[in-house]
Structure 1
Amino acid sequence: MDKSWMTINNRLTSKEYQQGVKSFLDFATANLGVEDEIRCPCVDCINGTKYSRQVVWMHLIRRGMASSYLTWVHHGEHVPVSRPSVSNDQYGGSGECMTDIDDPPMDELPIMLEEIYVSGLMDDHTDEEPNGLEREDLHKFTRLFEDAQRKVHPTCEKFSVLSFVIKMLHVKVYNKWSNKSFDMVMQVFKDILPECDPTVPWTLYDAKKFLRDLGLGYETIHSCKNDCVLFWKESANLEKWPTCDTCRYKLNDDGGKKIPHKVLRYFPLTPRLKRLYMSKKRAADMRWHNEKCVDDDILRHPADGQAWKDFDKQHPTFSDDSRNGLRSKIGYMGARRHLLENHTWRTSKLFNGQTEHRSKPLDLSGGQILEQIDSATYKPYGKHPQNRKRQRNEHQNLN
């Protein structure tokens, strides 16, 4: 599609420019359907506000179209992602170690990135101009598009830069390489193939930084040495925890950067759920329980279970949205205690490798349970130096 008219300066008198604006509006109407309002791509609105077709026409004639808006993603045009010139098939070695890895086809990378990119732009709930952080995210994805199509080596027809980095990290995890061994192997590749693309990250640190733009990183939270607390939220600024009086950081006589005793790596759930729904194929799978599950009294999926159905009855608003496919999972410790004394499952070791000889626990009222809680003695959380493992026969009066 010819977009050269966008750079014409004499917009009020140029028939070519006015015809270009008309062709743009016709294109948007054909792709978006007959809507009362469409996003205005003029230099002032920059797709941040919706107006009628006539108002958009006036804005584009008077102000001009934003020169950076070359791909009309807000008006139905697909992001121009061509198939990579390099084949991103799985590594075809004969080694047995890689045959069990269920890798996604590497030629899906550009499609995946396109879905992520477009989903970030086509947010129907956002009518404001993208802020600086959002623009930076789009720039990051643009770089990933390029890396997904650039050959890792001029003569390599198997991997792009992006697929090579993903594959090497996958191999590292699958074969339990140490960080040092990964760096050593990458250095060998670099020495053997000096003509590799200059953007290839040759260390584990750089590789993780390289893939961080995909948006699936993690948060680091400092933890107490004895596992009794996380230095998080209201405790984020504490230097020591008062219960065990243990310092948050290791002693550092030389000064400089403080090193925590322990670090918890937290992988946020929300961005990962968003990423699943960015893919058309995976989004359909995520809604399967609601849209395609057949209720024929056969247990094929957790949605066929009674617990799932009871949850849906108790929370109808939540269950009405097919995207709400997550349910809390409850594990019952010692569940076999409720079986009959002569039940065969009590002597089976298939459950946890042990047999169950304890009798059924007492059925207590709420008041009786509170009395047991009040009469019990509690030790500090975690691995406090004064703690010792409680023996099974302690506190016989407790249920």
Structure 2
Amino acid sequence: MKLRSTLELLQWKAGNGISDKAFTQLLKLIKEFLPEGNKLPETTYEAKEVTCPIGLEVQKIHACPNDCILYRGPHEDLEACPVCKASRYKIRRNDPGDIEGEAPRKRVLAKVMWYFPIIPRLRRLFQNREHAKLVCWHKEDRKEDDMLRHPVDGSQWRKVDRAYPEFAEDARNIRTTTIMMPALIQGPKQPGNDIDVYLQPLVEELQELWNTGVEMWDEYK
């Protein structure tokens, strides 16, 4: 119940753009209403600590404001986009810059993508006995006849089976699961055809899964 309540509150926080300070105030208010000795976290930091062990990793990746590049890999340490020359940080009007004797001012990023790695989430699927069984349904429990009920009954699925028989043999090789949201891209406009820039981390994970594979604990088996 502690984990479920904390997750639902954090999802509400993210969905409504609530600040960490306001969320901490809310947690303290709810905690006062609950019976004495309850285990609800008191701060945003404590709430995030509750979710960390289950693999809800989030990566904050800087992006060009014109969707040219992500500041990662060879671009990680750049101050401006090598394609359009736009600054990595927002430029304030009448900004005097850092003042001698005072702490440096925190620079505001021009654009950010929040990436949710899929490999830890797939691992978590198999750590739950019920979910691990459902992931293997397509091979172990589905009804095989001439009816089309699911993508697994379609010609494209069978084409993959024929092209990659070793992959198709193991029911735990993922082809279709629950919907996952891998990224949130800062607005105010959609990246359009430049979406491929933001898909780079996802493509790298998919390549790792396909070419190498990852080990995981199967709670069902």
TM-score range, shorter chain: 0.5 to 0.7
Q: Distance in 2 between matches of 1:166 and 1:189?
A: 15
| Equivalent in 32, 50, 69 of residue 210 of structure 1 | 50
| Equivalent in 131, 144, 164 of residue 5 of structure 2 | 164
Matches within 5 A, 1:270-349: 270-326=119-175
Cα offset for 1:273?
Answer: 0.9
Cα offset for 1:186?
Answer: 2.1
Letter in 1 for 2:28: Q
Query: Contact 1:240–1:246 at 8 Å: present in 2 too?
Result: yes
Q: Distance in 1 between matches of 2:140 and 2:7?
A: 33
Cα offset for 1:250?
Answer: 2.6
| Equivalent in 103, 106, 110 of residue 261 of structure 1 | 110
Name 1:179's counterpart in structure 2.
Answer: 18
Letter in 2 for 1:215: G
SS of the residue 1:272 aligns to: helix
Q: Distance in 1 between matches of 2:171 and 2:137?
A: 8
Cα offset for 1:192?
Answer: 4.8
Query: Contact 1:179–1:204 at 8 Å: present in 2 too?
Result: no
Q: Distance in 1 between matches of 2:27 and 2:158?
A: 51
Letter in 2 for 1:299: L
Q: Distance in 2 between matches of 1:186 and 1:224?
A: 35
1:223 aligns with 2:40: no
Query: Contact 2:31–2:40 at 8 Å: present in 1 too?
Result: no
| Equivalent in 244, 249, 252 of residue 84 of structure 2 | 244
Q: Distance in 2 between matches of 1:191 and 1:324?
A: 47
Q: Distance in 1 between matches of 2:106 and 2:35?
A: 36
Letter in 1 for 2:78: L
1:328-380 CA distances to partner (integer Å, 9 max, x unpaired)? xxxxxxxxxxxxxxxxxxxxxxxxxxxxxxxxxxxxxxxxxxxxxxxxxxxx9
With over 3 angstroms needed to count, the CA separation of the structure-2 counterparts of 1:196 and 1:262, relative to structure 1, is farther
- TM-score (normalizing by structure 2): 0.64
Query: Contact 2:90–2:107 at 8 Å: present in 1 too?
Result: yes
Q: Distance in 1 between matches of 2:141 and 2:33?
A: 52
With over 3 angstroms needed to count, the CA separation of the structure-2 counterparts of 1:246 and 1:196, relative to structure 1, is farther
With over 3 angstroms needed to count, the CA separation of the structure-2 counterparts of 1:194 and 1:301, relative to structure 1, is closer
With over 3 angstroms needed to count, the CA separation of the structure-2 counterparts of 1:186 and 1:214, relative to structure 1, is same
Q: Distance in 1 between matches of 2:108 and 2:78?
A: 14
With over 3 angstroms needed to count, the CA separation of the structure-2 counterparts of 1:171 and 1:224, relative to structure 1, is closer
Letter in 2 for 1:162: L
With over 3 angstroms needed to count, the CA separation of the structure-2 counterparts of 1:164 and 1:291, relative to structure 1, is closer
Cα offset for 1:185?
Answer: 2.6
Letter in 1 for 2:142: C
Query: Contact 1:289–1:325 at 8 Å: present in 2 too?
Result: no
Q: Distance in 2 between matches of 1:313 and 1:257?
A: 55
| Worse-superposed segment, 306-315 or 234-243 | 234-243
Letter in 2 for 1:166: L
The RMSD of aligned alpha carbons is 3.0
Q: Distance in 2 between matches of 1:166 and 1:316?
A: 39
Matches within 5 A, 1:132-143: none
With over 3 angstroms needed to count, the CA separation of the structure-2 counterparts of 1:171 and 1:196, relative to structure 1, is farther
Give the number of aligned pairs.
169
Q: Distance in 2 between matches of 1:295 and 1:193?
A: 51
Query: Contact 1:190–1:196 at 8 Å: present in 2 too?
Result: no
Larger of the two Rg values belongs to structure: 1
SS of the residue 1:289 aligns to: helix
Q: Distance in 2 between matches of 1:300 and 1:381?
A: 35
1:243-266 CA distances to partner (integer Å, 9 max, x unpaired)? 210111234724344432111111
Cα offset for 1:167?
Answer: 4.0
Name 1:386's counterpart in structure 2.
Answer: none
What fraction of aligned residue pairs are identical, expressed as a percent? 36
